[in-house]
Amino acid sequence: MSSRNIAVVVLAAGKGTRMKSDLHKVLHPIAGRPMLLHLLAAADTLSPERTVVVTGAGRAQVEAAVAPRGARIAVQAEQLGTGHAVMQAREALSGFEGDVLILYGDVPLVRAETMRAMIARLNAADAPAVVVLGFRPAEAGAYGRLIVADGSDRLEKIVEFKDADARERAVTLCNSGLMAARGESLFDLLARLGNDNASGEYYLTDVVELSGAAAVIEADAGEVAGVNSRGELAAVEQAWQQVRRARAMADGATLIAPETVWFAHDTTIGRDVTIEPNVVFGPGVTVADGATIHAFSHLEGATVGSGATVGPYARLRPGADLSENARVGNFVEIKKATIGVGAKVNHLTYIGDAEVGAGANVGAGTITCNYDGYFKYRTVIGAGAFIGSNSALVAPVAIGAGAIVAAGSVVTRDVAADSLALARGRQEERGGWAKRFRDAMIARKKGK
């Protein structure tokens, strides 16, 4: 790729009315990350000198989302077309010398490799002033068409479908809207745009003819899929998931029913991991080699150690950290807690704000009572401790190493190592009482 500086301009000023949402269109998530941030993450790998996001409607939401990335903001107050939108970035790019990559916030799956290819073509020996990214969809429909010179990648013009004649509409190479241009000439070209067209807008595509020297490269249609509706959002999500599932399996994980597993944008899966059907990974999950995630489990913000098992029907919430060979079973919820090496939390249990030591066993129905309505408190269970079923550990509390908590106990004080804690009412038995009760009730009922 060229050594010239790169600037990225992302158009995100559209109202997105078809989404029917209070959330800005480009902030709707794909794999747990706003689509705009997917695009910016890919662009960041090019190490751009400047990144400019052109906003309009919903400006405050977009600005808040990109602020941590240091992107500059330009505002398109009136929606007068894509060419007009790029014009708004002029001040933000003042003094910039290099190549400008123009992207769309609602086209989130463009790969960094494709962006690099666009910049490389812009800096090829024949040095076109503009490079346009094209694609060939199964149905060209109402996409703008790219008209190229026979046998070359030289782009003669881009024509919008509504302005195209029958010959031009027969062309299958379509315009994605993405473009790379030389910064030193881009704004001079934009200043020459007119709006004599069916929409009365300033088309960015018209810079192709104005430049007199443009080229086209092609990308896969799925890579440039746009999102304008909830249906299109679901389709792009599905496309992203299919690629990610294939990559997980290629990297050595077993997915029993791949189409039922849903990854987040940052999910990390090790080798020899087995993932059973209907598992959902939220953001922030790492699964180490040899772990097993059983069916119908949901993980978010969690770390699963090597050889550990999760589920079925388990929920790991943010801060859950399972050590090597730990076991978390059915209908167990773990939140902000560390489960030690080989420890077991197998059934119908809630462990929150806690530390469970190596080799400890937490019985069915146990809960850590970590919240008093105002503050959270911590529970510590020592190595090798045994917590009997249906126990309530009222935090803050510590159970010593090797201690046993009898089933059904409500523990409110620390338990010393290797001790037995028995905290339940004394059992009483009254012989024959049940039969006398039944007889009395039957006689009473007959008397009525």
Candidates 287, 284, 262, 285; CA nearest to 274 is 287
What pairs with residue 175 in β-bridges?
Answer: 134
What pairs with residue 101 in β-bridges?
Answer: 8, 180
Task: Decide if pLDDT at 333 tops 70.
Answer: yes
User: Could you count the other beta carbons within 10 Å of the beta carbon of residue 444?
Assistant: 9
Task: Decide if pLDDT at 79 tops 90.
Answer: no
Query: E strand or H helix at 84, and its extent?
Result: helix 82-87
For the residues 366-391, what does the mean pLDDT come to? 97
Candidates 338, 362, 358, 364; CA nearest to 401 is 358
What pairs with residue 255 in β-bridges?
Answer: 275
Model confidence band, residue 290 (pLDDT cutoffs 50, 70, 90): very high
For the residues 40-63, what does the mean pLDDT come to? 94
Distance CA 435, CA 173 (A): 87
For the residues 102-124, what does the mean pLDDT come to? 96
- The model's pTM is 0.90
Question: Could you read off the pLDDT of 403-428 as tens digits, one per residue?
Answer: 999 999 999 999 999 999 999 988 89
Catalytic residue among 28, 265, 294, 347: 347
- Do the beta carbons of residue 36 and residue 54 sit within 8 Å? no
The structural domains of the chain, ordered by start, are: 6-224 (3.90.550.10), 255-322 (2.160.10.10), 338-448 (2.160.10.10)
Q: Report pLDDT for 209.
A: 87
Q: Report pLDDT for 35.
A: 97
- Do the beta carbons of residue 175 and residue 143 sit within 8 Å? yes
Q: Percent of the chain at pLDDT above 90? A: 87
Tokens of residue 447, six digits: 């008397």
Mean pLDDT of the chain: 95
For the residues 57-75, what does the mean pLDDT come to? 92
Catalytic (active site) residue 24: no
Question: Could you read off the pLDDT of 266-288 as tens digits, one per residue?
Answer: 999 999 999 999 999 999 999 99
- Do the beta carbons of residue 31 and residue 247 sit within 8 Å? no
Task: Decide if pLDDT at 2 tops 70.
Answer: no
